[in-house]
Amino acid sequence: MSAVLEAPGKVPKMRLLSVEIYDSMIKNGILNENDNVELLNGAIIEKMPKGTRHTSANTFITRFFYRFLGEQAVIRVQDPIRLDEFSELEPDVVLARLPIERYSLKHPTPEDILLIIEVSDTTLYFDRHDKAAAYSRNGIEQYLIVNVENNTIEDYRKPGADGYQSKQTYEIGDKISLIHFPELEIAVEDFLQN
């Protein structure tokens, strides 16, 4: 049996997809809405199908914000945001700064975003690590993970290059406040109903 020796050499360099290339792929029909993907850190990521509890929580969250915030923020549901040059994600719910017309020609960027919410079941690890790191690195002040598997809400604050410096977990019976809407008190069961 002979051993295979590898000669030292250059390691192939990966080429990251920029948001501009990704958007061009969508515009030219290379990717379409049936592909169910998003761009994170220069890689195209396939999104997981949504189960009943996921879609239910998304509906409760959306209805809550329309009822209590009305015209105080732009409420975006599973629509693209541009985090940086290499990430264009589609969070479950985003609260963005007014006026709504500012998003006619561009997706919200970190300066526009007041809150990001991901509803999580099978993607919990990915949402806690990969997405949280990207949101934190780009200065998203508050990020909530609505965990439908154990009926909790994880509240991430104080973003930095190395991740969020603050994480608080809330259970049924607890109430949460928002950084940009401190007068609004959210009960965990407002988002998670059994």
The domain ranges of the chain are 50-191
Beta carbons of 107 and 79 less than 8 angstroms apart: yes
Q: Which residues of the chain have pLDDT under 50?
A: none
Beta strands in the chain (DSSP E): 37-40, 43-46, 74-77, 81-84, 87-89, 93-96, 113-120, 142-147, 152-157, 166-171, 175-177, 185-187
Please give the class, per CATH, of domain 50-191: alpha beta
Residue 14 has what pLDDT? 73
147 CB-near residues (< 8 Å, 6+ apart): 120, 121, 124, 153, 154
Residue 127 has what pLDDT? 96
Q: Structure pTM?
A: 0.91
